[in-house]
Structure 1
């Protein structure tokens, strides 16, 4: 994405530059959220498996 921003800047595509920068900021924030959540696992009780009987 950084290379695309550089290309857009070189070509003078200012609207494209702005859009790509917004997308990049969103992607970076998502990565930060994932990093903060790393190691914080929760358990889920799935219960005890049962079998079905024909009726």
Structure 2
């Protein structure tokens, strides 16, 4: 899976909103096949958003301070 740029999070949210609007329009017009296809797209976009949030949370919690190295002298 490709990694998503966290800077594009807002764009992904807008894509999900747009897909939601398009699904509503398709259902109003009776385009059930189109609505179903868009539903698959919105599910994939939602999974990417969730994965992005989880990856960002993991990266923040896994930082470990190892301190400064000490040089041992014989």
TM-score using structure 1 length: 0.70
Q: Number of residue pairs matched?
A: 42
Superposed structure 1 runs of 4+ greater than 2 Å apart = none
Residue deviations 1:5-44 (CA, integer Å, cap 9, x gap):
0000000001000000000000000000000000417xxx
Q: SS at 1:38's partner residue?
A: helix
User: Which residue does 2:43 correspond to in 1?
Assistant: 25
User: Which residue does 2:64 correspond to in 1?
Assistant: none
Which residue of 24, 27, 42 corresponds with 1:6? 24
For 1:34 and 1:23, how far apart are their aligned partners in 2? 17
User: Which residue does 1:35 correspond to in 2?
Assistant: 53
For structure 2, which runs of at least 5 residues remain unmatched after alignment?
Answer: 1-18, 61-74
Root-mean-square deviation (Å): 1.6
User: Which residue does 1:49 correspond to in 2?
Assistant: none
Flag the structure with higher helix content.
2
